Structure 1
């Protein structure tokens, strides 16, 4: 890890982790599109393999382009070190494998991404690593669900797709008393809006595919934490399982990060307007958006987030068939399961991202058949709302 960058977020997003003098004065980080690196001598190659000398060996282990991405993300999350992966799920898998062993227990927020839920099921079936879904809303919620074999508390906040929030400082304080690691999926907020490590959490994971990349053209994952833990993951799970990111994909994420701050400002600004318009429409039963003062956990948002984010969900008052009709009537807004892109995207969680979750658990998570998730893009808010309005008025 290089010396801490003391610049502000917007400046770090453009400059941190990269010195042109180290790369033939290239303004933009080069793409080191190579699988392996040569050694001047056997002696030097041996030293690098032994870890007694810094240097590159093989791109599954380290790569100069990937290093720039990792150092930049560590600076933005204000962590000691970071690791880049081929996908968000590769990052999540690596972390959960690091903090658990057979017969351990994971305490999770009530809602998690569908593939994360699938991974939890796999860990339970193959390695008897049990998990519990909890609201994590109060100290009692948290402590009553902690077992002797709980080694990890895994949190999404805002939760996908209900946008519920978890008080990270509360969880971190209680977990620290018992020596339990707290892992936070910070994909929805990005380090621009929320910094879990500064609130006492241990590890942050991202699907960098989303807001970090920001353009819908790359798949990637990030883990940030203290140097010791990140080094352990790097030397074991990442090296031996091999879910590493390619240099070109790392380069695309570096490019995306440069505009992260300005994009997040626009996403948040438009989401606030669209959420307000949806709330006032007669066909909408409820809007889930942390920026609404009427939302029960609004105080948590003001305490730990800079703004409420660019995602919202809304539930229609009609039938499932009418819900699907609304989505199919959209013209500008695209039906897709990702988020954080320049384009506004909509999806139906019950039949898409959370289809793998059994119906009874989906209902406990608050995911009804009338719930839709909207990722606000960078288009004019008037055009986004105009498309939603015409579709809602069609039922």
Structure 2
């Protein structure tokens, strides 16, 4: 009985708020989003815990928790005919490097004057980032896979790492693209495997989708990257041909991350696939924070049917619920079709679309997040049970 009373007392010691959002794509990174929410929650005791899932902004979230040193490097264009670009990777010390795919081949690298065309996009610049980290002495690589504008299966980055690709009896010149996969005849990854000998390579995937099929990289993400419906079959066959030539089964959850680059790095460089949001959660101490918090606030730019495929809000909600904390969702937009699952997974949700209307500047989004924090404070801080939005 004494133990039972002690347990009840411990349950009532929960206090404070955790702000653990992802980036709000195209507007603010997760660090800025977490701080904005926390400012709105002031003066409630609040801790910011920026999150990431392998997509854009993940490196910033890791830097906020672990520190590190940014290493800048020059990269080739992600789009055929495009301009050279600047990229960077995060040196975490102890010969460990974090490379973010979106630093080299994000959809946002396509100039606004050009319509998205993943057939002309290459992951080659990401391979250049990895080369820079390896050349600097890194022996442990963590590669964040998400936020890509490519569907080349990682062939471009493997080429940058020394891979050779042949079609019509000749070696394809760099950078190889998804369109080249459809005519590919053979490949040689001897140099890639030599470079990765003795290297620990962890692949932090932002989704659990496979490479191929109705839940694969093309079927689920082709449209948002610019593929037209009539192109889906052709690019799917390109990835299928690539996987056959790689000599590896494309059957692991997460193989479809970053346009299939997860598969390319797993099969070609011996990388180990992990859930990106869980990896970042471990690094930043999410479970420990949730164990003592009363409320955990998470969010992203748009909550839709892809969120439950491994995105930050889903991972944070699962962790918070397992730890006994209440969890609130703040999203720029919410797909109405997901409302039933949101009501099952979250204790409260708030959509920012009204606040964000006609706002494109980062400062506007941050102000909207501050207002969201204020609304959460007013509506939830003393509510038992939590109010419906």
Is the TM value for this pair above 0.5? no
The answer to which structure has the higher strand fraction is: 2
TM range (shorter): under 0.3
State the TM-score, normalized to the length of structure 1: 0.27
